[in-house]
Amino acid sequence: MNSQWIKEQFPILNQEVNGHPLVYLDSAASSQKPRAVIEAIKHYYEWDNANVHRGVHTLGSRATDAYEGAREKVAKFIGAKRSEEIVFTRGTTTALNLVASSYGPTVINEGDEIVITQMEHHSNFIPWQQLALRTGATLKFIPLEQDGTVTIEAAEKTITPKTKIVAMAYVSNVMGVINPVKQIAEVAHRNGAVMVVDGAQSTPHLKVNVQDLDCDFYTISGHKMCGPTGIGVLYGKKALLSAMPPIEFGGEMIDDVGLYESTWKDAPMRFEGGTPIIAGAVGLGAAIDFLTEVGMEQIERHEKELAGYAMDRLSQIDGVSIYGPAKRQVGLVTFNLGDVHPHDVATVLDSYGVAIRAGHHCCQPLMRWLQVSSTARASLYLYNTEQDIDRLADALVQAKEYFA
């Protein structure tokens, strides 16, 4: 990878913060945007801005082509069979809530089981918790190993013929582990359950093929993969989407409206009522073009090398505790510096121009499992380099000396 060329594609990285060149290590929260994405959104608003699927005028036709073209790009990017399996949403949170609120009640009854893990982001935790509370179902957890990983054996012991839904993150936003979702999907299907995969942290960093994973639902957040905020994706197998009722009602999602009853369009349109996130979809399509040009295999390899380097550098600093497996496959390192609060660590690092995340990372059950209240997290992406990690390590040493 040409790291210098890639970094030059992100205008925001060319600045100083508190008198130091910016080192951005918070991509797991939200990635930065390349110039190609910014220009694509700007071009849409300057030349093609109109509503979609409605007007027959030129601008409306161009906007519709751009919107549906983005849907086709997403389908190809994740290996879906057809673009009709792609539903645009506001993000992973909305996508997971759509599955829990629309599909969930059609299959979950009192006594049924929903299986998740304690490492899930709240977006893939609370919807299932609330569905279980509403229906009287049992919420079960695949136990974590000592290093925070999940094994097939543990999944097989937890998932039973009573299980109707299994939901799991492909990549943990705290532990940095890649979960064996393909193998767990096999266990789920063997027991008659569907597999829901939270792809918010995997899609930006790994080459994904939903057909190979054989998951039933897969979710994406555009802002974590160089796209704009406010746009996401729910992938669902066509048969499942076709059987799901809409949960939002209004314009464009209808087939026929009578005085006392109405009918709905086929998926995905039945789930995209009202004016959709047109500019967001255009920006997401541009982000996919950019990532494809760089190469997902290259990005994955680059991050794996950086993660190894980061683990080596941080583990050499006395007082730094690193959470999760010793060997990382993705560019994410979660740690604490002695008994210093992570917010204080992040504040000192920010004074050196190094941006990291501190807090519970929307994973409070996992924090309790780790027996901590919060942690610091450095998350890497394609625009980061070994020099960025050196800056992080040097700033951590300064923080250690400061608090000592």
| Closest to 377 in 3D by CA, of 356, 398, 397 | 356
The DSSP call for residue 381 is -
Angle ∠(358,359,360) on CA atoms, nearest 5: 140
The reported pTM is 0.97
Task: Map tokens 């290259």 to a residue.
Answer: 298
pLDDT digits (tens, 9 = 90+) for 300-333: 999 999 999 999 999 999 999 999 998 888 999 9
Helices vs. strands in the chain: H and E counts, helices first: 15, 17
SS3 144: coil
pLDDT digits (tens, 9 = 90+) for 57-96: 999 999 999 999 999 999 999 999 999 999 999 999 999 9
Residues annotated as catalytic are: 362
Angle ∠(80,82,84) on CA atoms, nearest 5: 110
Angle ∠(393,342,220) on CA atoms, nearest 5: 90
pLDDT the model gives residue 329: 82
For 169, how many CA atoms within 13 A lie in the half-sphere containing its CB?
Answer: 26
In the chain, the domains with their CATH numbers are: 3-30+295-403 (3.90.1150.10), 38-293 (3.40.640.10)
**Nearest-angstrom CA–CA distance, 7 and 389:** 15
| Amino acid code (one letter) for 170 | Y
pLDDT digits (tens, 9 = 90+) for 204-263: 999 999 999 999 999 999 999 999 999 999 999 999 999 999 999 999 999 999 999 999
**Nearest-angstrom CA–CA distance, 193 and 158:** 12
Within 329-402, strands assigned E span 332-337, 354-355, 357-359, 375-379
Helices 296-315 & 278-294 angle (0-180, nearest 10): 80
- pLDDT > 90? residue 201: yes
pLDDT digits (tens, 9 = 90+) for 149-200: 999 999 999 999 999 999 999 999 999 999 999 999 999 999 999 999 999 9
| Amino acid code (one letter) for 310 | A
- Residues of 154-183 as b/e, b for ≥16 C-beta within 10 angstroms? bbbebbeeebbbbbbbbbbbbbbbbbbbee
Q: Under a CB-based contact definition with an 8 Å cutoff, are residues 171 and 126 in contact?
A: no
pLDDT digits (tens, 9 = 90+) for 280-306: 999 999 999 999 999 999 999 999 999
